[in-house]
């Protein structure tokens, strides 16, 4: 009689362990699918872009650089227009580069000064 009871307990334990193994395997498959989806190139780009746009330091740098580039581009267009002269085009590009760098650095410097005060 004792053997039959122990056999039943053993069978119940085996059934519980098999059910646990099946549940863990399903969870493992779901985790694998989530990992696989997150490693797709498009999803990597999306997450990188999301991190870039939500980080305040990077967001400020993007805005500062955009202001610098726009100012440089506008100064080139105002002073040289759409000239076909190669010398004017080179000088205009140099001017655009210089103005962009100066404006970007000044915006960063002025923000640092306002933060210190």
**Structural domain boundaries, residue 30:** 1-39
Domain-embedded: residue 47: no
d(CA 58, CA 64): 10
Same domain, 20 and 61: no
Residue 74 falls inside a structural domain: yes
Q: Are 108 and 64 in contact, with CB atoms under 8 Å apart? A: yes
pLDDT of 116 reads: 57
Structure tokens at 79: 């002073």
* pLDDT tens for each residue of 65-99: 888 888 888 888 888 888 888 888 888 889 888 98
- C-alpha span between 94 and 32 (Å, rounded): 52
Q: Are residues 30 and 65 in the same domain?
A: no
User: Rounded to the nearest 10 degrees, what angle do helices 41-54 and 56-80 cross at?
Assistant: 90
Is 44 part of a structural domain of the chain? no
Phi first, then psi: give them for residue 40, nearest 5 degrees.
Answer: -70, 145
**Would you state the pLDDT for residue 13?**
95
How much is the pLDDT for 102? 86
Percent of the chain with pLDDT over 70: 90
Note whether residue 48 is domain-resident.
no
Give residue 32's pLDDT band: very low, low, confident or very high (50, 70, 90).
very high
pLDDT digits (tens, 9 = 90+) for 55-64: 777 777 778 8
Q: Tell me the two tokens of residue 32.
A: 């694998």
- Domain count for the chain, please give it: 2
Judge whether 46 lies within some domain. no
Domain membership of residue 88 (yes or no) is yes
Quick one: 77 and 101 in the same domain? yes
Q: What pTM was computed for the model?
A: 0.46
């Amino acid at each position: 009689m004792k053997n039959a009871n122990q056999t039943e307990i053993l069978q119940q334990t085996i059934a519980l362990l098999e059910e646990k193994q099946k549940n863990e395997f399903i969870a493992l498959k779901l985790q694998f699918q989530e990992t696989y989806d997150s490693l797709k190139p498009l999803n990597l780009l999306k997450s990188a872009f999301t991190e870039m746009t939500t980080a305040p330091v990077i967001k400020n740098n993007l805005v500062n650089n955009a202001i610098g580039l726009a100012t440089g581009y506008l100064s080139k267009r105002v002073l040289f227009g759409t000239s076909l002269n190669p010398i004017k085009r080179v000088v205009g590009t140099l001017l655009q580069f210089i103005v962009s760098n100066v404006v970007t650095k000044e915006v960063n410097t002025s923000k640092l000064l306002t933060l210190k005060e």
